[in-house]
């Protein structure tokens, strides 16, 4: 491959998608890769920069998904790839629990400063979001001596056994994979478009479930995504999160925020909790934390994090030296370039264009989100009946034009936009034009 060739800054298609080389690789994939792994859009990527992905046929695609909110600072950002190369040339692994290194400590210091935790914080590092969530639950149970965990309708927390239990949606995440872990209870989520409740009303409904079906004296923690990701980019009504967090504090129940998708500048703040001035006892992070490298963390109140016996938390690879080097570079680029501010302005541009479009298109039920985490919920005109076929068709129409758009939602009827924050205004407008045309074709 011609790796020294400059990556275009504009979407450019040389073939139909997927092109001939991608088709060949797709055949090999079918012969080699387990069928249970989603196919997504089978265009094989060769290299990337900023918001542009170049495939093996030389097509330049515009990425509005960031590999599910991971490449938030952009693809192959030079500061991050340089930090990775430098660390890789020094050493790759020692296992932090065996012989430590500075990068792990430095990432924990950075997280303790950035993450909205109540009071003084400590952190522990892991490899994946699900692993972070599992560890937050371990910490909450051990520190409180209680077992029950409350989660919400539409929640997504991962695919391991415990996190499948925490996740709401059966197909495809849980279907035929039970039995699931016990002591997990589900409460109603504030979903303003569908429940029409104020934040206070929705919180009262959730709290009533917690009190009547679990009881605060059995409940270790309430675990919630401050803006739900896979569930449909559901932004709870204002006041919902503060009311829940206040109830937790008053009842000695821990409040755990899963900021794995909403964190790291995505929503126009470093963390989505900050929009409502809420702090949490424990916060899980992953995805955007390390510019594309696998890394995750639990950051929490010092008394909780230190309540666990030595050796109770860890793992062979958690906080790998290369991943921590990438995280430190990612965090410094986010600070230097004020990517939270950039996310806020991208959000304004996306929302205003999509809201205008929704006035003409009765198939668009709702445009919502915060910062660069924006969703369009598609419905059957004249009702709120979900329209997953339109979402699928619109995403496919975008993909065919070389614009990567993801879907989500309990009903599969939500298009979600998670552009790299390094996207330029021209690229964003190009992507939104393609999306607008796709929506006009599919939900007019």
> Given the structure tokens 């303790």, which residue do they identify?
112
> Which residue from 80, 16, 49 is spatially nearest to 330, judged by alpha carbons?
80
> Is cis: bond before 147, omega within 30 of 0?
no
Binding residue for ligand PLP, selected from 158, 288, 363, 386, defined by CB under 6 A: 158
Contacts of 301 (CB under 8 A, 6+ apart): 117, 118, 119, 120, 121, 281, 282
Residue 398 φ/ψ, nearest 5 degrees? -65, -50
Distance in Å, CB of 107 to ligand PLP, minimum? 16
Under rule CB under 6 A, residue 227 binds ligand PLP: no
Q: Which of residues 260-299 bind ligand PLP (CB under 6 A)?
A: 260-261, 286
The SS3 assignment for 352 reads helix
Q: With binding defined as CB under 6 A, does residue 342 bind ligand PLP?
A: no
Find the binder of ligand PLP among 57, 225, 366, 401 (CB under 6 A). Answer: 225
Q: Which two tokens stand for residue 212?
A: 């009547």
Smaller CB distance to ligand PLP: residue 130 or 148?
Answer: 130
Segment interacting with ligand PLP (CB under 6 A) among 24-32, 255-263, 357-365, 430-438:
255-263
Q: Cβ 375 to ligand PLP, closest distance in Å?
A: 13
Q: How far is the CB of 158 from ligand PLP (least distance, A)?
A: 4
Is 318 one of the binding residues for ligand PLP (CB under 6 A)? no
Nearer to ligand PLP by Cβ, of 371 and 402: the residue is 371
Query: Exactly one of 57, 134, 258, 377 binds ligand PLP (CB under 6 A); which one?
Result: 258
* DSSP letter, residue 243: H
According to DSSP, the residues that pair with 416 across neighbouring strands are: 375, 406
Q: Please work out the total of residues on this chain that contact ligand PLP, with binding judged by CB under 6 A.
A: 14
Q: Report the C-alpha gap between 335 and 354 in whole angstroms.
A: 29
Q: Which residues contact 425 (CB under 8 A, 6 or more apart)?
A: 349
Specify the residue, 52 or 265, whose C-beta has the smaller distance to ligand PLP: 265
Chain position whose Cβ is nearest to ligand PLP: 129
Nearer to ligand PLP, 156 or 271 (CB): 156
Q: Does 413 participate in binding ligand PLP (rule CB under 6 A)? A: no
Q: Which is nearer to ligand PLP, 129 or 365 (CB)?
A: 129
Maximum Cα–Cα distance across the chain: 63
Distance CA 252, CA 233 (A): 29
Q: Which conformational region is residue 314 in: left (phi greater than 0), alpha (psi within -120 to 50 degrees), or beta?
A: left
Cβ neighbours of 203 (radius 10 Å): 25
Q: Is 363 in the site for ligand PLP (CB under 6 A)?
A: no
Residues that bind ligand PLP (CB under 6 A): 128-130, 133, 156-158, 225, 229-230, 258, 260-261, 286
């Amino acid at each position: 491959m011609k790796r020294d060739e400059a990556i275009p800054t504009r979407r450019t298609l040389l073939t139909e998608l997927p092109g001939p080389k991608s088709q060949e690789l797709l055949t090999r994939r079918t012969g080699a890769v387990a069928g249970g792994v989603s196919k997504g859009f089978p265009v094989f990527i060769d290299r990337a920069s900023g918001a542009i992905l170049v495939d093996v046929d030389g097509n330049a695609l515009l990425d509005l998904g960031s590999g599910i909110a991971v490449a938030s600072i952009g693809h192959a950002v030079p500061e991050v790839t340089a930090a990775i190369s430098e660390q890789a040339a020094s050493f790759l692994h020692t296992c932090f629990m065996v012989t430590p290194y500075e990068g792990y400590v430095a990432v924990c210091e950075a997280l303790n400063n950035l993450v909205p935790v109540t009071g003084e914080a400590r952190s522990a590092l892991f490899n994946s979001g699900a692993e972070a969530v599992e560890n937050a639950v371990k910490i909450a149970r051990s520190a409180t001596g209680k077992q029950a965990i409350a989660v919400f309708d539409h929640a997504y927390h991962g695919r391991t056994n415990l996190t499948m239990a925490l996740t709401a949606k059966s197909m495809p995440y849980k279907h035929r994979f039970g039995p699931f872990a016990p002591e997990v209870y589900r409460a109603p989520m504030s979903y303003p478009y569908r429940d029409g409740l104020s934040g206070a009303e929705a919180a009262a409904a959730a709290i009533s479930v917690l009190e009547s079906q679990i009881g605060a004296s059995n409940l270790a923690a309430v675990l919630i995504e401050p803006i739900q990701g896979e569930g449909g980019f559901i932004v709870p009504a204002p006041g919902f999160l503060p009311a829940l967090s206040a109830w937790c504090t008053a009842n000695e129940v821990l409040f755990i925020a899963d900021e794995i998708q909403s964190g790291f500048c995505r929503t126009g703040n470093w963390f989505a909790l900050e929009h409502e001035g809420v702090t949490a006892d424990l916060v899980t992070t992953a995805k955007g934390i390390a510019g594309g490298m696998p890394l995750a963390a639990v950051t929490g109140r010092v008394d909780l994090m230190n309540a666990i016996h030595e050796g109770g938390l860890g793992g062979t690879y958690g906080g790998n030296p290369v991943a921590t080097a990438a995280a430190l570079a990612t965090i410094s680029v986010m600070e230097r370039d004020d990517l939270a501010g950039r996310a806020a302005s991208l959000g304004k541009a996306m929302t205003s264009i999509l809201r205008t479009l929704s006035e003409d298109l009765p198939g668009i039920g709702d445009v919502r989100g915060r910062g660069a985490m924006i969703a369009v919920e598609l419905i059957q005109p004249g009702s709120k009946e979900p329209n997953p076929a339109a979402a699928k068709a619109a995403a496919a129409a975008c993909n065919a034009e070389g614009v990567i758009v993801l879907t989500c939602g309990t009903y599969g009827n939500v298009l979600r936009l998670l552009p790299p924050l390094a996207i330029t205004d021209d690229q964003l407008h190009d992507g939104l034009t393609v999306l607008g045309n796709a929506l006009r074709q599919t939900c007019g």
